[in-house]
């Protein structure tokens, strides 16, 4: 199989994922809105998967392909969840 499913395994990519996971986790914990917590939570899961693939240097191509499909699905879910938060005002 060619490198069509190649995944980066460098320290900068791993560090970037860590920064995103920390930031998104803080946003998940900080927001009182359930819809926003779900949105940020899905993104945390997505970036944790990316981090895991980055540090797993011997990841098989089949696992990378499955992860790309799974994270694509998570991005679609996050997009849907973000639309649910638009235009909603807190009552009271």
The range of the structural domain enclosing residue 77 comes to 9-85
Answer whether 57's CB lies under 8 Å from 36's CB: no
Give the residue, 86 or 43, on which the prediction is more confident.
43
Is 91 among the domain residues?
A: no
Is 2 among the domain residues?
A: no
- Whether the per-residue pLDDT at 39 is higher than 80: the answer is yes
Is 42 among the domain residues?
A: yes
| pLDDT mean over 28-49 | 94
Is 1 among the domain residues?
A: no
Please tell me the pTM assigned to this model: 0.85
Is 26 among the domain residues?
A: yes
Domain count, the chain: 1
Reported as a pLDDT band with limits 50, 70 and 90, residue 23 is very high
């Amino acid at each position: 199989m060619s490198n069509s499913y190649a995944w980066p395994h460098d320290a900068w990519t791993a560090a970037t994922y860590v920064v995103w996971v920390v930031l998104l986790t803080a946003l998940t914990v900080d927001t009182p809105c359930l819809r926003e917590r779900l949105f940020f939570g899905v993104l945390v899961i997505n970036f944790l998967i990316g981090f895991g693939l980055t540090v797993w240097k011997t990841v098989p191509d089949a696992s990378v392909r499955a992860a790309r499909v799974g994270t694509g699905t998570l991005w679609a879910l996050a997009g849907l969840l973000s639309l649910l938060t638009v235009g909603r005002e807190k009552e009271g």
